[in-house]
Chain A
């Protein structure tokens, strides 16, 4: 723990308006508690259900797709490890999620997000309907949980592009960072 400076960490979080964050295995219990906390804390916010929805998609992405895994003996399941932050500035809310991925997945994630980011709201609506059908069939064949739908949903709910950043950690692993922003309504 020698290199970890809690005060620096605190200062940085404060400076970036981070309201809450979690780092660790994103289990269903953790996700439910943080989700309900956000829903309660921002219950007067008009977009709260959309913000909550994006939080759930991001957190479940970590849970299912992070390649850094914690095994729970009690529940006999693997849970993805990652970090998720929730920030509020004067004019927006931000949800930022990060986790490890295999480098072999990088291209497909980037291309899924780029497609979503290239579309306007009407196109996203059509694309969602289309992917809902496609993913349904994929699901039966490959057992994929269909992250494509998640990205479309986040772009629709936030009415924003999904920002991503990928940092190569080592030869086979990278760190994927996703940011979704919500503009506050009426300033």
Chain B
């Protein structure tokens, strides 16, 4: 399957989905005018990828700097897909990164993950 690469902008996160290595990453800023429109192709790619890769481990990384409330729904929709892949036997590792001392992003990671059963780590990084 082809990679999904979207360059980030002031208001849109970057997307680096490497199909071959199964390393999928989204990061940066997310407050597009229409979040659902932006995230739609990401869901579509992910749905197909998860379907085709039920045997191997997939590492999904979020490295967000800021996201608005409509984007938080989009992030939840991604997590729901990962969780459902996990509960149906797929191998997922979720990595939620926050910049050191950014309590908002750290806490939002904890909130998103609360209630999920997939494997995850929440880690800080130095910029």
**Prevailing SS type, chain A contact patch:** helix
Given A63-B33, A129-B114, CB of A28 within 8 Å of CB of B11: yes
Contact B73 A49, beta carbon cutoff 8 Å: no
Q: What are the residues of chain A within 8 A of B57 when measuring CB–CB?
A: none
B44 within 8 A of A: no
Whether A153 contacts B11 in the complex (CB less than 8 A), given A49-B104, A63-B33, A136-B76, comes out as no
Q: Give every chain A residue within 8 A of B102 (Cβ-Cβ).
A: 49
CA distance A135 to B102 in the complex (A): 26
B104 near A60 with CB under 8 A, answer no
> Contact string, A51-76, partner B, CB cutoff 8 A, digits 1/0?
01100110010010000000000000
- What's the A-B contact tally at a CB cutoff of 8 Å? 48
What's the least CB distance linking B34 to chain A, in Å? 9
5 pairs of residues in contact across A and B, judged by CB atoms under 8 Å: A53-B66, A57-B69, A129-B111, A132-B76, A146-B70
List 14 other contacts, CB 8 Å, given A28-B11, A56-B68.
A28-B32, A32-B10, A49-B66, A49-B102, A52-B66, A53-B68, A57-B69, A60-B31, A60-B68, A60-B70, A133-B76, A135-B73, A139-B36, A146-B70
